[in-house]
Structure 1
């Protein structure tokens, strides 16, 4: 893969205004204990999915620190939900998104990630040590070497991931 294989992506910052507008549902059904009902956030119906805030937070944090250059590709390992959020964030901020998954990824999730504009790289066998995640991370590192200026959010070790849920 080369950077020529990644389409330039025009930023659409208007998408960011959709964050925080998660639909709510009032739940009043009988439960085992008496209760007056409660409100539930329907995060699956939120713009960019349930991890869009975290994805935007990670990319904006990296931009502020100078780790992510304007228009540079973002590469991350995913089993799906963060990938949807990153695809949304990439469209909003103008970054091509390359997601590394594995063949266990559901076909419907593959289709959704591609429909959101992400390039999907799949590993076809687990690593001998560390399984699928280790295989995805090995492929991710290969892509980082092949894509100049690529940024890896490193979702499991990124404090901006946690801050996105605040």
Structure 2
């Protein structure tokens, strides 16, 4: 591989690294958004549970005062509806937790790939630097070799 090929590879690796950095940044943003959504879902669930507890307290407080059968049935239906809502919120929390875990796994994959590309780029940079130094040394030796016969021809005359 010649120096120009190495430079082209280096430029391609830099472009890949930029793309990988962008992907990682986007993935980290998705993780933050998913984490925020999970926090929101947990807060909604907490608030819903508090509302459910207050409603149950209210219904059972009314029960001690004596409720009609229809009022009791309506209260039970309302509590069942609240319990269904709670299950839906719990499902939402679970789904957000799963999405967050998947986002974090994907972010870790991006990080590992980025680190591998960085090591590869460093190796390529090192190879290119070595190649350039070698070519420079060869040129200097050639220049010195070209200068020696001219200088010895002048001194011999």
TM-score class, shorter-chain normalisation, is: under 0.3
TM-score scaled by length of structure 1: 0.23
* Bigger fraction of residues in strand: 1
Higher relative contact order, structure no. (Cα contacts within 8 Å, ≥ 6 residues apart) = 2
